[in-house]
Structure 1
Amino acid sequence: MKRSEERLVSYLEKEKIDAFYVHHPVHVRYICKYSGGDAYLLILPQKFYLVTDPRCLEHAQDECPEYECIDWRPYGSIESCLTFLVEKERIHSMAVEEEHISCGMYETLQKQCGCTIVPTRNVIEDFQEVKEEEEISCIRIAAEIAQRALEKLYASVRPGVTEKELEAKLTMYMAIEGADVKAGFNTVLSGRRTTFNYGVPTMKAVEIRRFGLDSDRMQISWILGRSGKNCGCRKGK
């Protein structure tokens, strides 16, 4: 049993709750390390379920052999599949991540499941605050990947190259260096756009201009260094 699973089982035992439904995709990956999509977890002290669709079933079974992987499609909905599992396991109380499921899903679970639905907040987030050695190692590796990718990218920063081209190259270099997850897009900005904390790369070309003591090349190098490391550290836990 992984440490993340142990923590969740301990929480259930402490709170005297029969099961925990994990809905948020980031939390699903944190708990079971499954790298695919469309996945949800139902954790019981002695039994783990991974609910997914038929496109992902084989992938889930390969990466999470300790989980019983269930295709939710024959049941018509996630809620109906959970209802089946609640009845099968005779679950009397089920915790849910109230900040990560819709009001509609919460109401449907209350009506269908026939068990007490226990809304929770920040349970898994609190687990994530304390990093395990494996997580610290992954963060260190991610930062090293980002640094190597940035060093390769600096050679491409020249007048005329666009932000989109640099962003594409940065993404490619990070993949080549070993990154396995892309967090949206990498922030690659130039000139005055370097002040945009959440700016999206455009077809704007890099220019050489003077801003006080800094050239445009220096500014883009700074934003690449700052944002590239952030993206790298979000590698995939």
Structure 2
Amino acid sequence: MSKRINKLREELAQLGADAFITEKAENRFYLSGFTGSTAWVIVTAKDSFLVTDFRYVEQAQEQAPDFKVINNERKAVDCMARLLKENGVNRLAFEAGSVSFQTYSDWSQAFDSVEMVPTNGLVEKIRMFKDESEMVIIREAVRIAEAAFEHIQGFIRPGVREVDVALELEYFMRKQGASGSAFDMIVASGARGALPHGRASEKVIQAGEMVTLDFGAAYKGYNSDITRTLSVGEPDPKLKEIYDIVLRAQLAGLEALKPGVSCKDADAATRDIITAAGYGDAYGHSAGHGLGLEVHEIPGLSTVSTYVLEPGMLVTMEPGIYVSGLGGVRIEDDVWITADGHENLNKSTKELLILPV
């Protein structure tokens, strides 16, 4: 944790801020290791504080040994105001994107003469680079999701509802050690495959339909995110053709993932293939996104991204084609950028699986 705090202090020094405050759960956990639901992390040039209430004091002391744990007693905002004053804080950096207007108003009033300095993505930019300790956890989250995909192939058949597939996936992942699903699963069969975010519905899967599965495991605070599209019996020839195009695009996108490549160019590697095949208008989302404590993090792989890939970044690669009234295909892997290229964390097949009916 000390390396993360030191990087944050370097950012604060550049801003000319005396301290930083966050109550965002992911950033609080990243900086301190605390997993409780109520707390504020305050980092100054010399000290790190974790302000919480009676319910979490003991937990905080155990999980955040490098922090000075402060019991806020009755009113947290007054406790923090005293803390800032005692530590000579004149300029306080806060996360403009995750602080409500009400909270900002309360802080501005209680912190009195402290100047509030809005920031955006201060901790997220540090989180963008995963170290080996994080990757150990993320690899396990990926393993759990991969095992779930292998398992669900024997569960999907005509007559099964999409919601039952989602339930079985989550149940299996929890038995494998996951704390739950990383996000609301996408199980989209038949024509619903044209919905990029087609959440599992009551629809019954039919023979001859393609099924897109987009899911991930939440494990020790981190997430995996995998998409596979398979067919229940022989699919429509047009969808089979679309599958081949998406697979070619995804493989080209993976090939582009290495240090020095712009995220915009990585996106283009997939988009050029899909556009050349005549489906450019059916590919309306970005090629991928950062992944970690949150399912969607920076950097994004998109037509407007300004990031360049660097070692330590973890991104998804997930091109897709969606045709209204027919269905859709998406294929997604989780990829860690390394010094000499990348490591694809997913090993499950991407050849079109045609399940027996």
TM range (shorter): 0.7 to 0.9
- Which residue pairs with 1:26 in the alignment? 26
Alpha-carbon shift at residue 73 of structure 1 (Å)? 5.2
Superimposed CA distance per residue, residues 188-219 of structure 1 (whole angstroms, 9 cap, x where no aligned partner):
232222222223222222222xxxxxx22xx2
Q: Which amino acid aligns with 2:37?
A: G
Is residue 79 of structure 2 the alignment partner of residue 81 of structure 1? yes
- Which residue pairs with 1:68 in the alignment? 68
CA distance in 2, matches of 1:116, 1:200: 44
Q: Which amino acid aligns with 1:100?
A: S
Q: Provide the secondary structure at the position in 2 that maps to 1:160.
A: coil
The verdict on how the C-alpha distance between 1:94 and 1:228 changes in structure 2, with shifts beyond 3 A counting, is closer
Q: Which amino acid aligns with 1:182?
A: S
Count residues with an aligned counterpart. 224
Superimposed CA distance per residue, residues 23-80 of structure 1 (whole angstroms, 9 cap, x where no aligned partner):
32222122223233223211123221222333333332221122223343511xx433
**Where do residues 45-64 of structure 1 align in structure 2 (5 Å cutoff)?**
45-64=45-64
Q: Which amino acid aligns with 2:205?
A: V
Q: Provide the secondary structure at the position in 2 that maps to 1:3.
A: helix
Q: Which amino acid aligns with 2:110?
A: Q
Superimposed CA distance per residue, residues 86-129 of structure 1 (whole angstroms, 9 cap, x where no aligned partner):
12322222110111111222232222213111111121122122
Alpha-carbon shift at residue 14 of structure 1 (Å)? 3.5
- Which residue pairs with 1:10 in the alignment? 10
Is residue 224 of structure 2 the alignment partner of residue 232 of structure 1? yes
Alpha-carbon shift at residue 130 of structure 1 (Å)? 2.5
Check whether the contact 1:50–1:67 (CA below 8 A) recurs between aligned residues: yes
Is residue 128 of structure 2 the alignment partner of residue 129 of structure 1? yes
Alpha-carbon shift at residue 160 of structure 1 (Å)? 2.2
CA distance in 1, matches of 2:126, 2:88: 27
In angstroms, what is the RMSD of aligned CA positions? 2.5
CA distance in 1, matches of 2:204, 2:73: 48
Between Structure 1 and Structure 2, the one with more helix by share is 1
Alpha-carbon shift at residue 151 of structure 1 (Å)? 0.8
The verdict on how the C-alpha distance between 1:50 and 1:229 changes in structure 2, with shifts beyond 3 A counting, is closer
**The one of 75, 92, 103 aligned to 2:101:** 103
Check whether the contact 1:39–1:51 (CA below 8 A) recurs between aligned residues: yes
Q: Provide the secondary structure at the position in 2 that maps to 1:17.
A: coil
CA distance in 2, matches of 1:227, 1:182: 7
Moved more, 80-89 or 49-58: 49-58
Q: Which amino acid aligns with 1:170?
A: L
The verdict on how the C-alpha distance between 1:59 and 1:23 changes in structure 2, with shifts beyond 3 A counting, is same
Q: Provide the secondary structure at the position in 2 that maps to 1:59.
A: helix
CA distance in 2, matches of 1:199, 1:181: 19
Between Structure 1 and Structure 2, the one with more strand by share is 2
Superimposed CA distance per residue, residues 129-176 of structure 1 (whole angstroms, 9 cap, x where no aligned partner):
223232333333322221011111221112222222221221122222
CA distance in 2, matches of 1:128, 1:236: 8
The verdict on how the C-alpha distance between 1:73 and 1:188 changes in structure 2, with shifts beyond 3 A counting, is farther
Identity %: 25
The TM-score normalised by the length of structure 2 is 0.57
Q: Provide the secondary structure at the position in 2 that maps to 1:21.
A: strand
Q: Which amino acid aligns with 2:65?
A: P
Q: Which amino acid aligns with 2:206?
A: E
Q: Which amino acid aligns with 1:11?
A: E
Check whether the contact 1:180–1:236 (CA below 8 A) recurs between aligned residues: no
- Which residue pairs with 2:167 in the alignment? 168
Q: Provide the secondary structure at the position in 2 that maps to 1:188.
A: strand
CA distance in 1, matches of 2:200, 2:162: 5
Is residue 92 of structure 2 the alignment partner of residue 94 of structure 1? yes
CA distance in 1, matches of 2:137, 2:116: 35
Check whether the contact 2:181–2:216 (CA below 8 A) recurs between aligned residues: no
